[in-house]
Copies of this chain bind each other. A is one copy, B any other.
């Protein structure tokens, strides 16, 4: 937690419970110990991952344009978008860099945000289904990807450009993919992409482009820096000096993951029954099948209780209680998904020089007195 900045009051209507990782652009996430027992994260605690400043949007002049491999290009006002059928989807968003700090402990990862476990949150998103818009635009047969461009500007390697990314058209046609204008029943806050953002449940957060103003159907993935070069998973042997940016795995669906939220790392507790709780998550519409906890480094495991969940696109909250004697204890967790996949043991086994997609077993130590 030492990497958080000493902001007394976070901006943008955010709670002081936010762990701020960067002031400009603003990046932070909720202190895991403050997450409510319920599935939804209040807007003032929802994590923020920005690559640039928050654009000022002239709502009257705003148009969403749908172009590229479509037969009927669209240019829609916010009013026109709101007249389309309104849909609400509960979905967890997670930054691909969540849990990077554990990778940084294996080997340095310069120039990336040192996320702990807090770059993840869940909301009910309300808006229109992207597939409704695309159907109106009539995709051409060659279209394979939907590329999104935001109004925010990022700066990389001396260039300023709009943030963007893409998803396969097959995913874009899923009923869960929204252009959202409300978040947890409130108007979408500016820091989360108002007036309109993409929400791509089950994919890394970077594909849920905020302040979206352009959608292009095309044969190939977006050539935006944040799709074509960043947010790729490279083998462990590749570094900044040797990387061929066109070769890494373009991140999409999130792998199965789980984290202990409470107690916190290093806490001192009274010996006796200790409640442990956290979340588990998997992308792609798969289900979290179970969460296991170990007090002996993974030799034996105990099942945690999963909440009823039931929303296909959200994390599952879990809890377990252990009777801990006095002394130091390491608690380890791992999850399994419905495809019989589980998490790798060590962060070193998934280390990559950009620090993405860490889903190693989560560990923390407590002392009982």
Contact = CB atoms under 8 A, between A and B. Distances in A.
Interface of A: 233, 235-237, 249, 251-256, 283-284, 286, 289-290, 292, 298, 300-303, 336, 338-346, 349-350, 356-357, 359
A249 B290 contact: yes
Given A289-B249, A349-B298, A349-B345, A339 B235 contact: no
Contacts of A302: 237
Chain A binding surface, main DSSP class: loop
A357 B345 contact: no
26 contacts: A233-B340, A235-B290, A235-B301, A237-B300, A237-B301, A237-B302, A249-B289, A249-B338, A251-B340, A252-B338, A253-B286, A253-B340, A254-B340, A255-B340, A255-B341, A256-B341, A283-B339, A340-B357, A340-B359, A341-B341, A342-B344, A342-B350, A344-B345, A345-B345, A345-B346, A345-B349
Contact of A336 (B249, B298, B300, B339): B249
B289 A236 contact: no
A318 to B, nearest CB: 14
Nearest to A202: B339
A302 B238 CA distance: 10
A289 B301 CA distance: 30
A283 B290 CA distance: 19
Contacts of A252: 338-339
Contacts of A283: 339
B300 A255 contact: no
A339 B257 CA distance: 12
Nearest to A204: B340
A235 B286 contact: no
A284 B339 CA distance: 8
Nearest to A252: B338
A338 B253 contact: yes
B303 A235 contact: yes
Given A236-B301, A249-B338, 9 more contacts: A236-B300, A237-B302, A249-B289, A249-B340, A253-B338, A253-B339, A254-B339, A255-B340, A345-B345
A47 to B, nearest CB: 19
A283 B284 CA distance: 12
A294 to B, nearest CB: 10
Closest 6 CB pairs of A and B: A253-B339, A340-B357, A255-B341, A249-B289, A255-B340, A255-B339
A53 to B, nearest CB: 29
A237 B289 CA distance: 16
B340 A356 contact: yes
Nearest to A292: B235
A233 B343 CA distance: 16
Nearest to A249: B289
Contacts of A340: 233, 249, 251, 253-255, 356-357, 359
A161 B251 CA distance: 46
A61 B284 CA distance: 43
A349 B338 contact: no
A283, A342, A350: which has the most chain B beta carbons within 10 Å? A342
A228 to B, nearest CB: 16
A167 to B, nearest CB: 12
A254 B341 CA distance: 8
Contacts of A342: 344, 349-350
A351 to B, nearest CB: 11
